[in-house]
Structure 1
């Protein structure tokens, strides 16, 4: 029964993540409430379990009829020989776990082939063992001084004054007029760029978002840094490349960091993180609550929980629809509106980070909202678009709307697997800034990263601030298009069409990327480019580990 369960579980895991069991499967064991309910709502568990039970009984009966059990239990093999055979089998398993690395299977450029060459259960325990990777142990290194010098050179823009030493901390000056509007950022779950008509979709899934994009500062060529929500949160709060292993949101010693929220707090804002589910999941409450944000979520009170900010639980009377992942998008937006009304009456500037949940399996949402049936990804995207359009229409009547900027950005794409080891097209996301004061609509077609969002916004608002961010103002004349992205092991730096992939065992691969054909052609680059890639990740890992990312 255990063997059959793991077999079918791996099939459904592949369907969702296009991968053998990996660190996501390990992580999800911790959050049993959300995951079990999500599985129960997504799959016919009674039928699946009954089917596995019948299969197990059938196999057991077949073994019985073939006398396999009888031959085994009536065997005359001596105890010493049984002990020898058992010792060999157990020793083999121990030796494999100690010395055979799961990454040995990753020898090709096709990620599907690499994943298929692994064993599912072995992959699970390998992921459990290696949930975090030490950059300095597993990746190509250059001299620290050279690494920081390269990053500083790349981050230099108009009005930048760097601190001395192995640091990227700097003062950003600005000669433009200063504005301080409220900021509401809607981070949309799994919103791939190719769901929007702007990127060629003809299913009419996002009529509201497509209309809004036409009247916004639209980042039409932006890329997410990773493939999970916590990676998007990391990029949008820390503006840092995705270092190997789990997101910093989920790591130890991630309190009091130099975040986007810290800059807003310095400017007199109140920061709030809104989440329709339980923020205990993926360590979100701990991260936001100890990095300058108040928390509003649909969770449970935990004993001895402590945050620098406050935590408010969403009440039952604020909920019209809820599934395993949390309340529907309309409900969380209504909670945000109530909070904004309150902040406005108290004359408080607010910066809100909203994380949506409706565009997540099992793709369920309130009935009679859209003309697509519940239960598919396309329907969930359409509902999320409807909820955002409804939210914008509601807040237009509010007295605080005139002085409020709305950001709509995805956390990551709906899927990341493709024909290449790293499929760049599966990282492209939409991003737009609405209602920006004294700024005409524009389409920023230059290649940009999630980490560039807030440095660009603050430049448009005329802010002067201290920065420890890897993001840049993409409108500055010194900006040269580049993105940072990856998986929990593969680290990617792309500048123009030049692609560098860093992997464990200090491996460096270089390609030319043809976006039109979505092709990667193996080639060689000057060491200056590969060193630039190494410098970004090496320094990002270093400033987190040595504590200089702290405030």
Structure 2
């Protein structure tokens, strides 16, 4: 029986039944995701009711938007041809494709949630663009033939259900007058227009529990909302202050005896050091998704990082360092620009991101060569365009048929003879490190120091790596990937130590972000904690920096240890300076955090501000009943100033 009335004029019977199926499917997804994160979400009865009630609201809007092509077709298709062969072919094809998209979304929601603990967001938009890497990653992480077969079976089952409801029969038998088509068209399109114009996805984020926010959302609606809001205007969405006042607060926090500001318009300043400058080679290993909690130094008892733990005792070790974001491009932004995360996408992913004053600019001023190494295709996430546009040479495993290959600086492809293993994201870390050593041998003969930025990939789903290297089977999970990464770095340092250039080379080992940054709250600060160590720096072979600090502070601190005098446009500061105020700047795509002492302020869209009290070990957060406005001015100052200076071009060289 058809769920809806069977009047002969009901040409829209198929649309109504399709929308009902869509609502039912969304309910099932929400229910299963709730069970999946039940313990972490910690929802009470009222919150569960709110999730499903508000979720239904978003589902109705999404179903209306999804039905737009169908209602336009049914409105305009001539009545005399209804039920014809052409009509049936077009309708069956359209319904099949629409249901297949729903089936794909159904499965994709669970795989995406498994990785990011959220509905579709900016990351999903990026993944749609970079289909080659993503499809291969899915193929290697999941049984793709089985998934496709399941999606087709699910699609055919839903078509069969529509047939059993007699939706097709009624739709093809209808002979409606125009007014009878216009009424449902106006109703559905009206709802769709209202949602497009007046219902932002952030309406689901009016509660503090992040899991409740994400469960309330509709995945498809969230995807298109993220696509539309790839960059957020700070002034439009966040609490603002007078620009000059905010700039003044930031400049005041940077004022030191050895610092002289160049002008009154921005943060450009000259940092003076009276010591004798050291000019070692610098190699930075940026480890994919490497949480501090993986290391024994930070409480892990699985012994999966034996080499890095041993290296930590022979290095300058940052014990209280926090990432600025949750994605690789956000880590790259922090490590190259030393800037807080501006709302929206990372600057690495934006268009106007060339000619910036980067950490590489400081190395250039000291006559260093600069090279970016990546084991995958640097076209992904706009990495090659960003690094080449800021003066780096490129060494990657890229294909030559994609945009980004004709770059203003030199690009070298890692040769086949160095590649022994690869997965969806690129070659294994051992092969990447071998390419770095090969290049370093060449660089060391050019009689100028070199700065190499390495981005690893092995510690990423599908967690596959060469067999026989460690005692955990390839593809078995994160622990194995972490241990293999540790193994690859040990081999790299071992091989490098045999080179003539090793003695005069400093290694910076740091994570781009944590393995998982999702939590009950908008920003779970404990899941931003990353390790960083500076190894092989003369006279600093066992030093711990315990101050609370940010990813953006690493290079200003290194430059101090090297006694460099240099021009800075960085928000990052020398942690070892006595005047340094311990603080961290964690962020997501929308939330902008500021941590100082045992407090964390969070700025979020719709000009919202809230604070959290943090436990002494940074493992627990509790939202304050009333926001602590004492930290609001600096919270605003960092992010508003960073946004303003970037948009005005003040961070250019």
TM over 0.5: same fold? yes
| Alignment correspondent of 1:349 | 449
1:87 has 2:186 as partner: yes
Select which of 305, 309, 319 maps to 2:419: 319
The structure number with the bigger radius of gyration is 2
Name the SS for the 2:515 alignment partner. Answer: coil
Q: In structure 2, what is the Cα distance between the partners aligned to 1:515 and 1:523?
A: 19
Q: Shift of the alpha carbon at 1:252?
A: 1.6
| Alignment correspondent of 1:59 | 158
Q: Shift of the alpha carbon at 1:303?
A: 6.2
1:246 has 2:345 as partner: yes
Q: In structure 2, what is the Cα distance between the partners aligned to 1:221 and 1:141?
A: 29
| Alignment correspondent of 2:636 | 534
| Alignment correspondent of 2:239 | 140
Select which of 507, 512, 517 maps to 1:416: 517
Q: Shift of the alpha carbon at 1:27?
A: 1.2
Q: Which TM-score applies when normalising by structure 2? A: 0.83
Stretch deviating more after TM superposition (411-420 or 525-534): 525-534
Q: In structure 2, what is the Cα distance between the partners aligned to 1:391 and 1:180?
A: 22
Name the SS for the 1:273 alignment partner. Answer: strand
Select which of 199, 203, 211 maps to 1:112: 211
Query: Which is richer in helix?
Result: 2
Q: Shift of the alpha carbon at 1:175?
A: 1.5
Stretch deviating more after TM superposition (480-489 or 83-92): 83-92
Q: Shift of the alpha carbon at 1:377?
A: 1.0
| Alignment correspondent of 1:464 | 565
The residue correspondences of 1:435-450 to structure 2 (distance < 5 A) are: 435-450=536-551
Contact 1:139 1:503 in 2 (8 A): yes
| Alignment correspondent of 2:579 | 478
Q: Shift of the alpha carbon at 1:528?
A: 4.7
Q: Shift of the alpha carbon at 1:524?
A: 4.9
Aligned-residue RMSD, C-alpha: 1.4
The residue correspondences of 1:357-368 to structure 2 (distance < 5 A) are: 357-368=457-468
The residue correspondences of 1:137-176 to structure 2 (distance < 5 A) are: 137-176=236-275
The residue correspondences of 1:78-477 to structure 2 (distance < 5 A) are: 78-301=177-400, 302=402, 305-375=405-475, 376-477=477-578
Stretch deviating more after TM superposition (91-100 or 304-313): 304-313
Contact 1:144 1:166 in 2 (8 A): no
Q: Which TM-score applies when normalising by structure 1? A: 0.98
| Structure 2 residues not aligned, in runs of 5+ | 1-99
Q: In structure 1, what is the Cα distance between the partners aligned to 2:161 and 2:372?
A: 56
The 3 A distance-change label for structure 1 pair 276 and 304 is closer
Contact 2:610 2:627 in 1 (8 A): no
The 3 A distance-change label for structure 1 pair 154 and 544 is same
Name the SS for the 2:595 alignment partner. Answer: strand
Contact 2:369 2:450 in 1 (8 A): yes
Deviations 1:258-294 (A, max 9, x none): 1000000000100000000110111100110011211
Name the SS for the 2:105 alignment partner. Answer: helix
The residue correspondences of 1:2-41 to structure 2 (distance < 5 A) are: 2-41=101-140
Q: In structure 2, what is the Cα distance between the partners aligned to 1:93 and 1:426?
A: 38
Q: Shift of the alpha carbon at 1:76?
A: 5.0
Name the SS for the 2:584 alignment partner. Answer: strand
The 3 A distance-change label for structure 1 pair 525 and 69 is closer
Q: In structure 1, what is the Cα distance between the partners aligned to 2:554 and 2:403?
A: 36
Q: In structure 1, what is the Cα distance between the partners aligned to 2:439 and 2:464?
A: 26
Contact 2:288 2:457 in 1 (8 A): yes
| Structure 1 residues not aligned, in runs of 5+ | none
Deviations 1:401-455 (A, max 9, x none): 1000001000000111112221000100000000001224111111111000000
Q: In structure 2, what is the Cα distance between the partners aligned to 1:170 and 1:440?
A: 30
The 3 A distance-change label for structure 1 pair 523 and 165 is farther
Q: In structure 2, what is the Cα distance between the partners aligned to 1:93 and 1:515?
A: 48
| Alignment correspondent of 1:544 | 646
| Alignment correspondent of 2:66 | none
Q: In structure 1, what is the Cα distance between the partners aligned to 2:126 and 2:167?
A: 38
RCO higher in 1 or 2 (8 Å CA, sep ≥ 6)? 1
Contact 2:523 2:586 in 1 (8 A): no
4+ aligned runs moved over 4 Å, structure 1: 302-306, 523-528
Name the SS for the 1:220 alignment partner. Answer: strand
Q: Shift of the alpha carbon at 1:383?
A: 0.4
| Alignment correspondent of 1:522 | 624
Deviations 1:297-351 (A, max 9, x none): 1112346854342111111111111111111000010000011111112212100
1:489 has 2:595 as partner: no
